[in-house]
């Protein structure tokens, strides 16, 4: 019935999932056939009637917010996502301090979505634009429920954490690289701050906040869906587009020309704040800060990925940033 035994599972994990499976069996109307952890607090559940995704939250209010938000999205016309369901279960799912929501399962396409092709990058951008157009119509209802998207403040803090990690970073990265990356960040933040009005004059929407490739899901029919709204906030759409640009630039060889071929981004390239923001090495800082915090540098695969992001792409990124500086001079 269960499918969560792997060579790396600890006995404690198995014991927990045994208890969780037993609890779900008592709460679902349908008979459970299979339970597979996808990642922390996200579980695939197969019953004799349907498939579901079960997701855990630390508080009931966070779960209720996600239920309300996805329901509003669907009601306002954004159909390419999931809904939370209450009908399969007898009562609110609460187990050992975690509140669980039961979501529709979207069967994935055998071809996993990635940013490798122009078609996918364009399609992901268009879906994100549809999401913003929909949330613009109801963001005022969520202003008291969601935090404000404060990109400059967030990136300033990320730089501070990276700076505090310098004693550790020196073991992995040679000094000229570190100094250069920090100079990019400081130049970017100063330019964003001096042109902050560009962001302030933009209409506000509900931001997705995590536009990584794994949050775009293509179903078996070929339709692309946007998932995982844990980091939603209120702010200008350009904040999501900046994150999207940062995610796709490694796949387009840090080409300004190829980036500007996306019409949703092209319209922002005359805004100085946006161009300054493109220079900020958000991905490098995010991954090194996380790796040092979690001490995951002993994981060879993760370490290689972060080093590739940092060093292998360094000169292509530097050329891109030098081009941004030329544009702004």
Distance CA 198, CA 274 (A): 8
Q: CATH number of 11-104: 3.30.200.20, 3.40.50.300, 3.40.1080.10, 3.40.50.410?
A: 3.30.200.20
Q: Does position 11 have pLDDT exceeding 90, yes or no? A: no
- 179-191 pLDDT, tens per residue? 999 999 999 999 9
Sorted by where each begins, the domain ranges of the chain are: 11-104, 118-328
Tell me the whole-structure pTM to 2 decimals. Answer: 0.93
Q: Report the candidate in 194, 213, 188, 203 with the shortest Cα–Cα distance to residue 238.
A: 203
Q: Does position 258 have pLDDT exceeding 50, yes or no? A: yes
DSSP at 312 = I
User: What residues contact residue 11 under an 8 Å CB cut-off, 6+ apart?
Assistant: none
Half-sphere exposure of 135 (CA within 13 A, CB side): 27
Domains 11-104 and 118-328 share a fold: no
Q: Does position 6 have pLDDT exceeding 60, yes or no? A: no
Which class does domain 118-328 fall in? alpha beta
Q: Does position 66 have pLDDT exceeding 80, yes or no? A: yes
Q: What is the pLDDT of residue 329?
A: 83
Q: Does position 144 have pLDDT exceeding 90, yes or no? A: yes
Average pLDDT over residues 41-65: 97
Q: What is the pLDDT of residue 8?
A: 44
Average pLDDT over residues 158-179: 95
Q: Does position 68 have pLDDT exceeding 60, yes or no? A: yes
Mean pLDDT of the chain: 95
């Amino acid at each position: 019935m269960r499918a969560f035994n792997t060579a790396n599972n600890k006995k404690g994990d198995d014991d927990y999932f045994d208890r969780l499976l037993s609890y779900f069996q008592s709460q679902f109307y349908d008979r459970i056939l299979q339970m597979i952890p996808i990642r922390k607090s996200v579980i695939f559940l197969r019953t004799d009637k349907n498939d579901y995704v079960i997701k855990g939250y630390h508080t009931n209010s966070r779960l209720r917010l996600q239920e309300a938000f996805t329901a509003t999205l669907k009601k306002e016309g954004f159909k390419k996502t999931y809904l939370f369901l209450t009908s399969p279960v007898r009562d609110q799912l609460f187990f050992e301090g975690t509140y669980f929501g039961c979501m529709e399962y979207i069967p994935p396409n055998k071809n996993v979505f990635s940013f490798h092709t122009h078609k996918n990058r364009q399609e992901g951008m268009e879906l994100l634009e549809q999401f913003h157009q929909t949330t613009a119509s109801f963001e005022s209802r969520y202003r008291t429920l969601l935090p404000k998207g404060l990109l400059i403040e967030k990136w300033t803090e990320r730089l501070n954490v990276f700076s505090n990690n310098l004693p550790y970073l020196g073991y992995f990265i040679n000094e000229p690289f570190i100094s250069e990356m920090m100079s990019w960040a400081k130049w970017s933040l100063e330019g964003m701050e001096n042109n902050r009005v560009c962001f302030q004059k933009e209409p506000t929407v509900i931001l997705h906040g995590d536009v990584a490739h794994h949050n775009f899901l293509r179903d078996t029919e070929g339709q692309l869906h946007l998932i995982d709204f844990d980091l939603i906030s209120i702010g200008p759409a350009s904040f999501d587009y900046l994150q999207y640009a940062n995610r796709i630039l490694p796949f387009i060889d840090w080409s300004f020309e190829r980036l500007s071929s996306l019409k949703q981004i092209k319209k922002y390239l005359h805004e100085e704040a946006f161009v300054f923001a493109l220079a900020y090495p958000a991905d490098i800082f995010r991954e090194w800060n996380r790796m040092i915090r979690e001490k995951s540098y002993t994981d060879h695969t993760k370490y290689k990925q972060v080093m590739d992001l940092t060093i292998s792409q360094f000169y292509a990124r530097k050329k891109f940033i030098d081009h941004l500086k030329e544009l702004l001079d």
